[in-house]
């Protein structure tokens, strides 16, 4: 699922409600939209985020534990929180699979 170098194998944004992208969009956000991260000059970050529009409870429409899997993808740039489908955030630079 997270095959480099471009991580396109992870698929599109997690959007079970079929709405527009971004917290600033009138018809959004996607269930999987997260806030921007500010990474240090060394390229590291330690931050705890809560994704309130998703769950790890299996069988729910907004569950991240889906057949075929889901992934967390980090983009190179800041998300403008409104451009569809990915906030004009640039290339995918990191990917992690979400599993049990």
For 63-97, how does the pLDDT look when each residue is reduced to its tens digit (9 = 90+)? 999 888 899 999 999 988 888 777 889 999 999 99
Q: What is the CATH number of the domain that holds 66?
A: 2.60.40.200
pTM of structure: 0.83
Instruction: List the beta strands (DSSP E) in 1-100.
Output: 70-75, 92-98
- The Cα–Cα gap between 54 and 68 comes to 17
CB atoms under 10 Å from CB of 22, counted, come to: 23
For residue 60, the enclosing domain spans 1-100
**CB contact at 8 A, 92 and 10:** yes
Number of domains making up the chain: 1
């Amino acid at each position: 699922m997270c095959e480099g170098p471009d991580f396109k194998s992870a698929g599109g944004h997690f959007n079970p409600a079929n709405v527009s992208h971004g917290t600033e969009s009138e018809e959004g956000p996607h269930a999987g939209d997260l806030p921007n991260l500010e990474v240090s000059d060394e390229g590291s970050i330690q931050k705890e985020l809560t994704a309130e529009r998703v769950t790890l409870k299996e069988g729910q429409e907004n569950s991240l534990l889906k057949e075929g899997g889901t992934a967390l993808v980090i983009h190179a740039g800041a998300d403008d929180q409104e451009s569809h489908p990915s906030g004009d955030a640039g290339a995918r630079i990191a990917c992690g699979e979400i599993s049990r």
